[in-house]
């Protein structure tokens, strides 16, 4: 179904209480147009007011007024440089500010915590990664550790004249309404994560206002990072699968995350690929994770040191050296992955399947068997053997960066809501 355009003449809007559609007063319209202008400048990188006017489709006068407000609030900056590539008299060049609003993303995974600060342009300005064993630690303590790393990132952001306006937490599990319902590989069940994290962060940064927080599944956020920063492909509908201790998944449909009815969509790691297979932590049997999760893969390959990044490096080294047991384990994991992916492609019809996490490095070995299963299992040859529809994720596909960018996305959608938090650059 095509969406009707929710366009209403503000002049004819009555104060009705039960509207069919969103309506708009002048304030809403201005906020929306501020967002249009800010996003136009962000997407262009550098652009004149005339360029913004052509791109957004509002008059030069309207654009000038909106740009003025965005400059004053610190969202845009202006350089004296003129720009003559466009018709009309040359103007100064607008860019999004490299100081001021920013977002903090925090990924809590099984064996590491990663924190990233992203500015309004989407650039990764601070990045801290610490390898920790979060599985053996009570959730409160893990959240406290993560807050300590976030506090260090925040200090570093402030030193760069950035002013983070929010935090997003990425967790490898089912997240809904601020609660981690289940994160089996962390051993978390019904963990309220947001309030303890912000309390810890506020205690560590006593001078700063408390930051709003949200939490989200880590595969979802890595998929958003791939969508926003993955570059080349410009694919807007894809299935993202990430190999970690578990196997995460996310569906992106026309550039939007598909969350499902309760926010739990994309749980590809617990799709059963062999009903009589080994028991999984989720309670089921023969889940994909039991064949293609990091620990299962290391175990099958005979590589010790489950859980560490070193073990995956060792796996890769042995695969390169032609170790038969390792190659067999990777082939089996690729086949199982391909089977589940073929089913997912039949259901969701994506333009691409993107392999992230440890799969990115293991692509040379996982891709051939997975591609074979996709060709065989996707209905009526809709998955051609040629082409690069099955592809490794870009290095940008990182859950903490996606989390930070999600905060920035809120700013881009309604800059005025964040106006008071801005530190002028």
- Binding to a second copy, residues 300-339 (CB under 8 A): 339
> Interface residues for a second copy in 183-222 (CB under 8 A)?
184
Residue 142 φ then ψ, to 5°: -60, -45
Is position 85 an interface residue for a second copy (rule: CB under 8 A)? no
Question: What is the distance between the alpha carbons of residues 155 and 208, in angstroms, rounded to a whole number?
Answer: 11
Among 351, 384, 423, 424, binds a second copy (CB under 8 A): 351
Is position 279 an interface residue for a second copy (rule: CB under 8 A)? no
> Interface residues for a second copy in 152-171 (CB under 8 A)?
none
Question: What is the distance between the alpha carbons of residues 177 and 73, in angstroms, rounded to a whole number?
Answer: 31
Among 187, 327, 413, 419, binds a second copy (CB under 8 A): 413
Task: Tell me which residue has tokens 């903090």.
Answer: 104
Q: With CA atoms as reference, report the closest residue to 48 among 96, 88, 83, 98.
A: 83
Q: Which is nearer to a second copy, 71 or 253 (CB)?
A: 253
Q: In the numeric block, which tokens belong to residue 254? A: 């026309």
Residues 425, 131 contacting (CB under 8 angstroms): no
Question: What is the distance between the alpha carbons of residues 141 and 300, in angstroms, rounded to a whole number?
Answer: 32
Q: Which helix (H) or strand (E) holds 192?
A: strand 188-192
- DSSP symbol at 94: E
Least distance from a second copy to the Cβ atom of residue 198, Å: 22
Question: What is the distance between the alpha carbons of residues 369 and 336, in angstroms, rounded to a whole number?
Answer: 9
Least distance from a second copy to the Cβ atom of residue 358, Å: 21
> Interface residues for a second copy in 50-69 (CB under 8 A)?
53-62
Least distance from a second copy to the Cβ atom of residue 159, Å: 30
Q: Which is nearer to a second copy, 36 or 393 (CB)?
A: 36
Residue 298 φ then ψ, to 5°: -65, -40
Is position 2 an interface residue for a second copy (rule: CB under 8 A)? yes
Among 99, 156, 179, 346, binds a second copy (CB under 8 A): 346
Beta strands in 261-388 (DSSP E): 352-357
Residues 350, 251 contacting (CB under 8 angstroms): yes
> Interface residues for a second copy in 9-48 (CB under 8 A)?
9-10, 12-24, 26, 28-29, 32-33, 35-36, 39-40, 43
Among 187, 233, 368, 377, binds a second copy (CB under 8 A): 377
Pick the piece of the chain touching a second copy (CB under 8 A) from 107-115, 198-206, 349-357, 358-366.
Answer: 349-357
Among 91, 196, 248, 249, binds a second copy (CB under 8 A): 249
């Amino acid at each position: 179904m095509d969406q009707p355009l929710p366009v209403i003449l503000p002049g004819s809007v009555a104060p009705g209480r039960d509207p069919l559609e969103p309506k708009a007063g002048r304030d809403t319209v201005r906020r929306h147009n501020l967002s249009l202008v800010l996003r136009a400048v962000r997407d262009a990188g550098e652009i004149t007011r005339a360029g913004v006017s052509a791109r957004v489709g509002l008059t030069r006068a309207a654009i000038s007024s909106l740009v003025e407000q965005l400059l004053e609030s610190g969202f845009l900056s202006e350089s004296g440089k003129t720009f003559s590539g466009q018709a009309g008299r040359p103007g100064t060049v607008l860019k999004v500010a490299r100081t001021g609003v920013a977002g903090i993303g925090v990924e809590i995974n099984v064996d590491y915590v990663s924190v990233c600060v992203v500015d309004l342009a989407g650039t990764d300005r601070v990045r801290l990664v610490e390898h920790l064993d979060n599985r053996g630690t009570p959730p409160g303590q893990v959240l406290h550790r993560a807050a300590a790393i976030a506090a260090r990132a925040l200090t570093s952001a402030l030193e760069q004249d950035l002013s983070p306006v929010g935090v997003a937490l990425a967790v490898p599990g089912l997240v809904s309404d601020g609660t981690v319902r289940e994160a089996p590989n962390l051993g978390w069940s019904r963990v309220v994560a947001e309030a303890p994290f912000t309390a810890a962060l506020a205690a560590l940064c006593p001078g700063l206002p408390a930051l709003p927080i949200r939490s989200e599944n880590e595969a979802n956020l890595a998929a958003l990072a791939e969508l926003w920063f993955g570059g080349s492909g410009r694919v807007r509908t894809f299935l993202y699968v990430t190999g970690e201790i578990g196997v995460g998944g996310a569906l992106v449909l026309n550039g939007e995350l598909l969350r499902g009815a309760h926010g739990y969509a994309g749980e590809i790691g617990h799709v059963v690929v062999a009903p009589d297979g080994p028991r999984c932590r989720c309670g089921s049997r023969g889940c994909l994770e039991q064949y293609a999760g990091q620990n299962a893969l290391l175990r099958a390959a005979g590589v010790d040191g489950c859980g560490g990044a070193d073990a995956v490096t060792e796996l890769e080294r042995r695969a390169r050296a032609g170790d038969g047991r390792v190659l067999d384990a990777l082939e089996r994991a690729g086949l199982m992955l391909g089977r589940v992916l073929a089913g997912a492609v039949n259901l969701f019809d994506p333009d691409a399947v993107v392999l992230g996490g440890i799969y990115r490095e293991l692509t040379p070995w996982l891709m051939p068997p997975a591609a074979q299963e996709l060709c065989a299992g996707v209905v009526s040859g809709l998955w051609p053997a040629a082409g690069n529809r099955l592809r490794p994720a870009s290095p940008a596909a990182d859950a903490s960066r996606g989390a930070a960018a999600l905060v920035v996305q809120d700013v881009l959608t309604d800059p005025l809501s964040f106006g008071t938090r801005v530190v002028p650059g």
